[in-house]
Structure formats: structure tokens, C-alpha cells
Structure 1
């Protein structure tokens, strides 16, 4: 160990023997003699300040200080947790000579490794090191916090404000199986009070699965067509038919978060490896907008013909609109987040939608992980 910073432990013990009090003009000093080799020195400005020290975790101070002094890797001891709180109860202490060298964060999971090399990490796992657990609630509000999330939902589309199945249209969608997937890189910026802004970009995939598996999607000369394949081939027996449209998107959603972005943290620590899970608090909701640009398109048909299972996947634009834009609503409570999106533009460009339709608008509901 190169150096140890001498540390003054500020603690309050109301009934400890051998305590002496020395008073001065600027404050009071309490000296607590524990044994012939150890003393605790407390300096306070007044008796009220001494009483306030009851909220500090004395046992945790001493345990972590002792652990730090026994470590050959620690060059200094910082008696505070990662948020700057100096040993308030139910906080987590992180000891080290710098930031974690490796940090992997996915959604509400975070893995940190602060080892100089893999050999050191391997030696740690060979040793019987204890696993320590700390649970605490964040007190600090970051101005901007970045994270990744995944949207999983079900798709449909509205025809003139109604679902197509109301009229039995051939382009009726089967919601269960019409999956929406979104991979998002999101920044949450704190504005004031409970007001935050969620903004970022991501990729999404619309999948519309036909209610009737015999309906295939084709690009006609003037518009998109939904055709019953059994009319042309009586041996055709549809299993699944769907249309896919991928987009790259940007979003901007003002949010009211009444927990002010604070989260509960569970931290597991073993040597230089720390694993954390974050759980959101309180209720939050917001409404905003998004815009996207199409980067592909395809159809997929799975069917049986003459008893043999076959699959056809065909790429194409299928008159799909290049741009999408719409409204996104989000609501969450503690660990659960729900979302809904509605495209203000039509799925198909211009008047290229299916014959007899008033224009199809995509709608999605789902959860955010």
C-alpha cells in the first residue's frame, strides 16, 4: 500500500464509557477511549450537531475502513458513497483508486469490474471472498442520464378510425402475433421539479400478421393488394402471412416523474466485481412525438402445398411510406412501463393503400423493458 489518508471518523455514541469532553470557543471535542490503542475523536459545533450524527452508520464506517486498510490495491480511503453522501445509513460504499475500468450497463442492470488485469480477477474468484449486499435509494438527480431500453408490443392499423375487422376486410390484422420491436438509445434530461425530457433514437420493426393466413400481400400495378391465394391455387393452405416494415426513429417525450428520477438500487459486491440492479420509483407519464425513416420492407408467407410446408420471403417497398411520424404516450409505475404509439401518416404512400380503404394508420401498444 503506497499511502493511507488519515481519516477522522465523525460518529455519535450516546452512552459509551470513558468519554471526555473538551470545550472551546469554536466547538466541542469528544474523545472516546476504546482501548489502549484506539480512540475516537468527535468534533462538533454544538450539542444539536452531535445529536444529528445519530443517522450515520457507525458499524459500516469501521467495517469498510478495516476492509480498505487490509487491501493492497487501495491507495486512499474515501469515506463516502458514490453519490457523495458521507456514510448516511443504507448507503453503499465503493472503495478504489479510480473509476471502474469496465462497466457494462443494459437497461436496469449494471456490471462493473475494477481489476487491473484478468489474472487479478481470476485470483479473486479462486479465493473465498465474501459477497456483500447493499440496498439503498438514490438521492442524487442527474441532469442527463443515458440508458438503453427495448419496446415490445402488438401492432394493428385503423381504417378511417376503425379496425378493419369491423367490416371483415381482407387486410384485417391478427394482433397476437403482429409484434412490434424497438431498440432505443434514450437520454432523460431533468428540466425542473418532476419534469423530464426523454429524447433519443432507435430502430423499430412493424410486423402485421394477417388474420386470414390465406391472404398474401402483393404489390399491384397501382396499389397494395391483399389477395386470397386459394382462389388461384386450391392446394394452397396458409399457415402464416405477414408484412414487415423497419424504421430508424428519433423521439422526444416530455415526462412527469413524481419520484424525480430516483431509483432503488440493489448492489452485490465480490472483490473488484460489482453487480447492480435499478428499480424505478413512483408514478410517471408523458406524451410526445416521434419521426422515422423506413430502411426496408418484406413479406413472409408460410404455407402448405400438396402436403409440403414451404416458406416464401420477398423483399420490397410494397408502397410503404418512407417517413412515419406520430404521437407516443408512456406511463409507468415503479418497475412497470407501458407505451402506445399512433402514426399520424398512412402506412402506405399517397393513395397506394388497399382498395376501399380510407387510409391505414399504424397503432401499437406494449411494454418497455
Structure 2
């Protein structure tokens, strides 16, 4: 037999030998790659958001835009990247769910071992499967309306514009399931930067007179009067709600995507700065003033907060238990209502 014929026969024979072919990845290996891809997506979007915010801050420093426009652009950027993460991760989550189902159907050994039943009370089985951490990390973005009220005062009687006074919050949160074998109760904790803005009514602005901080009418017609207080706080919430358990050969985890969730808790932290911005026209010229002072504000911040949401978006409310200004000023407290976006 000629050598060429022998080589040809060996080649054809090798095509039918599975061991000579590249081994196909198992569902678990594919899922592991997809999980790494999710982490990469989140890192990419967070880095893109960071660069976008840096560009906005640079424009603010160059006075190309004012503070209010900068906050608006930051809010839009945060929402955009939050949705980018949600949409891109959703595609991968669907692929993982499909692979998880296929892995169960194709594994003949599952019929006779602990993977074959759904008894979550088997402690050994649970520890065998729980390769993923009970704690996950989230980007938190919140935006909405802000105001400040005295005791027994309604919004109709407020000294601040309801539509013009706004807040913005940006932070990081960690979510840990309280019970090892169940995800109906989670503990959320982290840190956030809160920017609370107030626009006084009736052409007024804040004036510091010794220990008192009072609203006074400006001698000129104000085009804009805005007081802002910046806080660094450490929120803690207990989150309740259903979740979907997803199992693979190597792991088990819970997904709260498209699920109702309720969060109740509070926050404590520090006031890291306050400022006031005025715009008016004087002698035919437009004037912008940025006034920085102590304004007798409280240095320690604490309050209650909660949210009610579906998936990654929630209705969010927070209320400062501490007065904005120290004694002997009236006990004026900050209150906020808006939307909160939690990005996995």
C-alpha cells in the first residue's frame, strides 16, 4: 500500500476519533465565562461613566456650564450607563439561564445524586453548590425632588420651590443575603454622596447673622437663588422580596431581576460642604455669585429612607431626622422623593 494512501486513511480515521478533536466546553465552563463577561461589562460601563463625569467636571471648571447643568448632565450619564449595564447583562443572564436548563437535562448523573431533587434543606448539598459569594456589589444612582419643612408644615406652605429644588445621589452598595439558604431578606449597606439643593421662593436667599441663618429678600431681582448641601452618608437597608434561584453544576445564585422589592432603613454621615449660588443683573450686567460659608449647618447627618421597586428601578424617599441648621435656628428638615437605580 502506498504511503499516500496510508496517510489518507489515517487522516480520515482521525476525524472520527473524538479524543483527537477539541473537547466541547461543558455548560458550567460556559457559564463561568459568561459570569466573567458580566463583570467585564460592569467594569467597562463604570469606567465610561467615570470618564464622562470627569469631562463634565472639566467643563464646569472652565465655566462652560453652571453647576445645575453639570448635575443634569451627570444624572443623564448615570442613567444611560445604568441602562447599558442592565440591558447588556440581561442578555448574558438569559444565556446563563438557558445553559443552566440544558445542563440539567443533559447530565445523566443528576438523576441519582443530590442534584436530582430540589430539597434545599440538605445542608451538605447546599454547601457543595454554593460557590458564589452571598454578597454582590451595586452602583446606586438616585435623582428627584428635594425640599425642607418645619414640623407640621406642608409642601404647600414650604419656603422652597417644589419643582426647582432637586437632589442627586451617587454611591456604592453591597447586598448580602441574611440567610444562607434563602434570599427573601437581604442586607444592603454602603456609602453615598448626596447633593441636596433648595431654591427659596419670593426672591429670597440665606443670610448668616451670627448663630442664625435666615431667609431674606434680595435687594435686586434674582434670576436664580440656590442653596446646596453636600453629604457623605452610609446607608443601611433591609431589602425584602422574591427572587429566582438559578442552579448550575458548580454554583447556585439568586436573581432579583424583574422582581418586586422593598427596602427599609436609614443612613448616617457627615456634612462635607455647603454653598449658595445667586444670579442677578446689576447695572445692565449679569452677575453670578458663589457664596461659601458655614451657614450654621449641622455637621452630623442622619435619617430614614426607603424604596419600593421593580427590578433595578425604584421609587425612593429619604428624610433627614437632623435639622439642617443648628440651634437656635428653627428645626428645618430635608426631605426627598425621586427615582433610584440599582445597577448590578
Please state which band the TM-score falls in when normalised by the shorter chain. 0.5 to 0.7
Q: Is the 8 A contact 1:218 1:226 kept in 2?
A: yes
Q: Structure 2 unaligned runs (5+)?
A: 1-12, 47-81, 101-129, 247-254
Correspondent of 1:147 among 115, 119, 138: 138
Which entry has the higher C-alpha Rg, 1 or 2? 1
User: RMSD in angstroms over aligned alpha carbons?
Assistant: 3.6
1:247 maps to 2:231? yes
Structure 1-normalised TM-score?
Answer: 0.58
Instruction: Report the structure, 1 or 2, having the larger helix content.
Output: 2
Report the alpha carbon displacement of residue 80 of structure 1 after superposing the two structures with TM. 2.1
Report the alpha carbon displacement of residue 36 of structure 1 after superposing the two structures with TM. 10
Report the alpha carbon displacement of residue 259 of structure 1 after superposing the two structures with TM. 1.9
Q: Deviations over 1:227-265 (max 9, x none)?
A: 1113xxxxx111110111111110110000212598xxx
Report the alpha carbon displacement of residue 79 of structure 1 after superposing the two structures with TM. 1.4
Relative to structure 1, is the Cα distance of residues 81 and 306 closer, same or farther in structure 2, using a 3 angstrom cutoff? farther
- Structure 2 CA distance for aligned equivalents of residues 337 and 189 of structure 1: 19
Q: Is the 8 A contact 1:78 1:95 kept in 2?
A: no
Hey, what does 1:175 align to over in structure 2?
Answer: 162
Q: Is the 8 A contact 1:293 1:324 kept in 2?
A: yes
Hey, what does 2:44 align to over in structure 1?
Answer: 104
Hey, what does 1:57 align to over in structure 2?
Answer: none
Q: Is the 8 A contact 2:243 2:256 kept in 1?
A: no
Relative to structure 1, is the Cα distance of residues 78 and 367 closer, same or farther in structure 2, using a 3 angstrom cutoff? same
Q: Is the 8 A contact 2:34 2:92 kept in 1?
A: no
Correspondent of 2:215 among 214, 226, 235: 226
Correspondent of 1:319 among 279, 285, 296: 296
Q: Is the 8 A contact 2:212 2:328 kept in 1?
A: yes
Correspondent of 1:185 among 147, 172, 194: 172
Hey, what does 1:79 align to over in structure 2?
Answer: 26
Q: Is the 8 A contact 1:248 1:295 kept in 2?
A: yes
Q: How does 1:29-108 map to 2 (within 5 A)?
A: 37-38=15-16, 69=22, 78-81=25-28, 103-106=43-46, 107=82
Task: Give the secondary structure class of the aligned counterpart of 1:104.
Answer: helix
Correspondent of 2:149 among 151, 158, 161: 158
Task: Give the secondary structure class of the aligned counterpart of 1:135.
Answer: helix
Q: Structure 1 unaligned runs (5+)?
A: 1-34, 42-65, 70-75, 86-91, 112-131, 231-235, 263-277, 354-358
Relative to structure 1, is the Cα distance of residues 78 and 137 closer, same or farther in structure 2, using a 3 angstrom cutoff? closer
